[in-house]
Amino acid sequence: MSASAGATPGRPWEWGEAEWRPHVDRVRAGRSLKPASWPECARCAVALSFDSDHETIPLREGEVTPGKLSQGEYGARVGVPRILRLLARHAVPATFFMPAVCALLRPDEARGYVEAGHEVAVHGWIHERNMELEYKHERDLAFRCADTLERVTGRRPVGIRTPSWDFSERTLDITRELGLLYDSSLMADDDPYELLAYGEATGVVEIPPEWIRDDAAYLNMDRYTAVRPYTPPRQLIPLWRDEFDAAHADGGLFQLTMHPHVIGHRSRMVVLEELLDHIAARGDVWYATHAQVAAYVWQEATGIGTAL
């Protein structure tokens, strides 16, 4: 039985309020945590993230052919070094969401993120689809991932992004049990907010991603399906630039999700380089990891500091 097996039976248009309301109320957006101001007198915050999935995308499907695995290997072998060099040139911190299997395959990579001043956060065990898991399996994998990342990097992760942003009925419970500061899988706002569970404030900060601000949504390629890259990389520049400009005008958060095996190619790194140049031209942004953003907005909202 999967985690989604608890869904209300029958056809949705036949549900009474007692059937549909609990589904809606299970996990909701609570109060906005958008602060009145950002550190360093910045107009807006910029939080870059990279999902270092590497070989786990084919592995989670049981796909073990060298061709598919090599596409993921490219992300670790070529994409990650390019990304780290670019971030270093611009003195920009980032968050790397890393499946535990990837950390076990390349512990030096995982430690290297931390040594370079970046954050490493939970991203599943093998990029599993948690919507298809029983609760006990989802919980076990989440705890094993957190424990593995701590053992490999020397730091206990404080945040999670679920693989593929899947979020089961139990994901928030597991996140709270892990004692994590934040999640970055849900999309109810542009700016940080607190998650509610059946109307109860949870103390978990949401750093919302969005498919609009995800490289894979535009650039993925799969040989055997209809998934084909239909967006020339440079077309992402005006889209993401407009997203940043709007966040800057609002005094909010600009959050971006990328993948080393996607953005890390030569013609695509141009996109990130030009975007960083555009952001730098503003001169009044606060670059931060997702953990730093979550800790700051929580302290601003509650007066309670969080040790990172």
Domain boundaries, the chain: 28-302
- Least Cα distance to 36 among 285, 301, 244 occurs for 301
Residue 28, H or E segment: strand 27-32
**Over residues 242-257, mean pLDDT:** 98
The mean-pLDDT minimum among 98-107, 111-120, 201-210, 224-233 falls in 224-233
Q: Considering only the top CATH level, what class is 28-302?
A: alpha beta
- CA atoms of 81 and 234, how far apart (whole Å): 21
CA distances to 5, 70, 116, 175, 247 from 49, rounded to whole Å, are 32, 22, 14, 19, 17
Strands 193-197 and 182-183: unpaired
The mean-pLDDT minimum among 8-22, 175-189, 206-220, 233-247 falls in 8-22
Strands 27-32 and 193-197: antiparallel
**Over residues 66-77, mean pLDDT:** 93
Strand partners, 98: 122
Tell whether the model's pLDDT for residue 306 goes beyond 70. Answer: yes
pLDDT of residue 2: 44
- CA atoms of 48 and 67, how far apart (whole Å): 29
- CA atoms of 231 and 272, how far apart (whole Å): 15
- CA atoms of 20 and 74, how far apart (whole Å): 44
Average pLDDT, the chain: 94
Task: List alpha helices for the chain, DSSP H.
Answer: 17-25, 56-60, 66-74, 80-90, 100-105, 107-115, 135-153, 171-177, 216-219, 236-250, 260-263, 266-282, 290-302
Tell whether the model's pLDDT for residue 3 goes beyond 60. Answer: no
Q: What is the pLDDT of residues 78-102, one digit of tens each?
A: 999 999 999 999 999 999 999 999 9
CA angle, corner 84, sides to 166 and 127, nearest 5?
20
Which position has the token pair 């909701």? Answer: 28
With cut-offs at 50, 70 and 90, classify the pLDDT of residue 188: very high
Which position has the token pair 């084919």? Answer: 58
**Over residues 9-17, mean pLDDT:** 90
Could you tell me the two tokens for 204? Answer: 């978990």
Tell whether the model's pLDDT for residue 226 goes beyond 80. Answer: no
